[in-house]
A and B are shown apart, each in its own frame.
Chain A
Amino acid sequence: MSVAVQERRITEHPSIEVLPPRRSRVWSKLRRRPAALFGAVLVGVFVLLAVLAPILPIPDPAATSWTSIRLPPSSEHWLGTDQNGRDLLSRMIWGAQASLLAGVVSVMIAVLIGVPLGVFAGWFGGWTDATISRMTEALLAVPFLILAIAFAAFLGPSLTNAMIAIGLSATPIFIRLARGQTLAVKTEDYVESAHAAGVGQVAILWRYILPNIAPPIIVQATLTIATAIIAEASLSFLGLGQQPPAPSWGAMLNTAKNFMEQAPWMAMWPGLGIFLVVLGFNLFGDGLRDALDPREA
């Protein structure tokens, strides 16, 4: 939600230095932060479940059963069943696939489009910068979720389109970030000397700029994955994401809210799932940001 705001403050805080951090230093700092490790573990568990879904001994998530409608958790159905008699544990695990995929792919889209644009804007300046910046501001001014809803409605409801919609909506964030970071790095000594030494523009961008602006972008990407997962759930909640009968946590919540009294567990699991995964990414991203901050011990 407030990712845009967070990002803004990163780039405009006067005292962030941009030193290429050494991997070993980062790793040791990360290890000393239990919160970040906890986050990583959370994410890891869900990723594992999602990847292993096809081989786990769980029932077919689309297998309906008219005799097992809305059963509470039991030894047979650990998390209970839904309104069509489908096993909730299975749907949760397969739903994890959808959520994680949505999170990662949308951010990848945003990064692959946003970072180059931002770097060009920062590097070339002038009209390139002006145009890109105005467009970015325009997109940033439209509320994120509304933008995503409009895109998703335009593209049609499906998980892929939801990912594209969220990715496009998150792109301006990375444009701003990459631009700001490029501006900061552009004037560094090593860049200027490379320039003086006659190294080509592309090479400079690739070998000097990109690696040095990477850390804050990675941090932002991690945090944006969290936002993207919630956005996908929100879109599915509104009926614009994953299509039935394929499971999606957001869609499961949307159905569950009609059965709050009869089967409250239906709403518990998907919400909890989203919460834990998002928390994991937030904790890890947070820890990463602290670890990469050269000012902190």
Chain B
Amino acid sequence: MRFMQTVAASALIAAMATGAYAQELRIGLQDDADVLDPDQSRTFVGRIVYTALCDKLVDISPDLEIVPQLATEWSWSDDETELTMTLREGVVFHDGTPFNADAVVANIERSQNLPESRRKSEVASITGIEAIDESTVKITLAEPDATLLAQLSDRAGMMISPTAAEEMGADFGSAPVCSGPFSFVERVQQDRIELARFADYWNADEIHFDTVVYLPIPDTTVRLANLRAGDLHLIERLAATDVASAKADAGLNVVDVVGLGYQGITMNVNNGPEADNPFGQDKRLRQALSLSVDRDALNQVVFEGAFAAGNQPVPPTSPWYDDRFPVPERDVEAARALLAEAGHADGIALSVQVANNPVQTQVMEVVQAMAAEAGINISIRATEFATLLQQQTAGEYQGSQVGWSGRTDVDGNIHQFVTCEGGINDSKFCDPQVDEHLNAARVSNDVAIRKESYDAAREILNDELPIIYLYHPSWIWAMNANIEGFTAYPDGMIRLQGVRSTQ
């Protein structure tokens, strides 16, 4: 796709030549994105890049409502197994291919059928899709799926050019072609990803930059230093411990919002022989562990209070939070009592594996110190992330400190972790009642019914504690004071519509 890059570059030069100030926005990312193909991509930062590169069928508002993007209207059939979507007119892909119902069909089918696709489970509920006319598409499901629209607001709903997809196949990522506000210019692994303004974007008026460059800088201190030095305009995931200093800096603005994800300790309840330990067998010990942790203090010590303490898969501010079970206060006495009840009045050992980066390690060190006072002696196994995942899947752990970056729909934060056949259920917790509730919540679009189901599941899960939730990371951005119009979204994405630089 050299052609597209030349076009993009020429457009850029043309813009500069006409005297328009070539506004470049440089964004510092925590990691380098992986392959730039929405169907194959797995990284969080990849999604940040897509936000500028690829438009989706629907998007979310800061309040997590589903709002139009490439689809302007949609409606469900009465039995909620058919979703009819009206598409926006006058939209073209970066290579000129028109966006229409056929393109949507091609996209969904690619997500389902491309061998390397990672989106298969996200669109698994779609049994059929057809183009009714140029701008109408009908999606058929086997049974109702409350999470579908949320899925379509993320990578599964990102529309790529069918022409490019056909031409490049699985190699699409080397020169992606979408229909977002910016088009792809070039990408050097671990160095930069450069995008240029797409003149024919349907919402071009809202875009105020000519180029966007994403620079992966893993070290938080260096990222901030670059921002301060003016080499970057905006950075994501400012370290919580740098917030005070950044806020005190007159040249910087700090914006934050509680994220969709969580961090906790997954307990091995039934995954292989290692589950045969007191903590895996006796829920009282797990409850004791949860009670021994002062979540607010944890938040304070490690994150200077910037994050949110938590005890459920969604933060206390979420509408899905079950208010009957607020974040517990630390209660060492109660914890000790539970230990005694379970026959371990003299204390008990527990091994917890954690990713070997300084922040997560510190979290576990704090938990370790707190739990020790209740008689739980935690030995920490700091492990490389790759090995951590493997050991977790294989059941070679007792406790594992991991998190989840969070999904727009609450189902994405629970279902696959605690249902008997859940794809990421590494604790192998299994309770048919929980399954029943969570499955019921999936197939109804009625918020009240869903909340009831989740609450019912919460009653059991809060007692059994296969996962002990600790906190919810907030997304914290720091930017040059000249940047205005930035809105914080709980999914952590950087949406550039309406963002401008006053310089």
Contacts and interface: CB of A to CB of B under 8 A. Distances in A.
Interface of A: 64, 66, 69, 83-84, 153, 156-157, 239-240, 243-245, 254-255, 257-262
A157 B384 contact: yes
B301 A84 contact: yes
B358 interface: yes
Contact of A157 (B239, B242, B302, B383): B383
Most buried by B among A69, A243, A257: A243
A84 B365 contact: yes
Contacts of A240: 356, 384
Contact of B365 (A69, A244, A262): A244
B344 interface: no
Contacts of A83: 241, 301-302, 362
Contacts of A64: 365-366, 369
Given A243-B382, A257-B221, A262 B241 contact: yes
Contacts of B242: 261-262
Interface in B330-381: 356-359, 361-362, 364-366, 368-369, 380-381
B220 interface: yes
Contact of A257 (B219, B359, B364, B369): B219
Chain B interface SS verdict (over half): helix
A239 B362 contact: no
B381 A245 contact: no
Contacts of A260: 221
A79 to B, nearest CB: 19
A258 B383 CA distance: 20
A258 B301 contact: no
B356 A239 contact: yes
B387 interface: yes
Contacts of B503: none
A240 B356 CA distance: 8
B315 to A, nearest CB: 23
Chain A interface SS verdict (over half): loop
Nearest to A257: B221
Contact of B380 (A66, A69, A244, A255): A244
A239 B384 contact: yes
26 contacts: A64-B366, A66-B297, A66-B301, A83-B241, A83-B302, A84-B362, A84-B366, A153-B384, A239-B384, A240-B356, A240-B384, A243-B380, A243-B381, A244-B365, A244-B380, A244-B382, A245-B365, A245-B368, A257-B219, A258-B220, A258-B239, A258-B241, A258-B359, A259-B241, A261-B245, A262-B245
A244 B297 CA distance: 20
A175 to B, nearest CB: 30
B238 to A, nearest CB: 12
Most buried by A among B359, B362, B364, B387: B362
B391 to A, nearest CB: 10
B222 to A, nearest CB: 9
Nearest to A244: B361
Interface residues on B, range: 20 to 34
Nearest to A239: B356
Contacts of B356: 157, 239-240
Chain A to chain B: the 8 pairs with minimum beta-carbon distance, closest first: A239-B356, A255-B358, A64-B369, A244-B361, A243-B382, A245-B365, A260-B221, A66-B301
A292 to B, nearest CB: 42
Most buried by A among B239, B241, B302, B364: B241
Nearest to B222: A257
A244 B245 contact: no
Contacts of B359: 258
Contact of B221 (A69, A156, A258): A258
A261 B302 CA distance: 16
A83 B241 CA distance: 10
B436 to A, nearest CB: 41
A243 B378 CA distance: 13
Given A157-B383, A255-B362, 20 more contacts: A64-B369, A69-B301, A83-B301, A84-B362, A84-B369, A153-B384, A239-B357, A239-B382, A239-B384, A240-B384, A243-B380, A244-B361, A244-B364, A244-B380, A245-B368, A257-B221, A258-B241, A260-B221, A261-B221, A261-B242
A153 B386 CA distance: 10
B358 A254 contact: yes
Nearest to A63: B369
A260 B362 CA distance: 17
Most buried by A among B221, B239, B297: B221
Nearest to A245: B365
Nearest to B220: A258
A211 B302 CA distance: 56
A156 B387 contact: yes
Nearest to B361: A244
Contacts of A84: 301, 362, 365-366, 369
Contacts of A254: 358
Contacts of B387: 156
Contacts of A262: 241-242, 245
Interface in B218-244: 219-221, 239, 241-242
A241 to B, nearest CB: 10
Contacts of B368: 245
Nearest to A153: B384
Most buried by A among B245, B357, B368, B382: B382
Nearest to B294: A66
B306 to A, nearest CB: 14
Most buried by A among B219, B301, B364, B387: B301
Nearest to B301: A66
A51 B420 CA distance: 53
A258 B384 contact: no
B241 A245 contact: no
Contacts of B300: 66
A79 B358 CA distance: 21
Contacts of B362: 83-84, 255
Nearest to B381: A243
A157 B366 contact: no
Nearest to B368: A245
B188 to A, nearest CB: 22
B411 to A, nearest CB: 34
Nearest to B224: A261
Contacts of A261: 221, 242, 245
A90 to B, nearest CB: 15
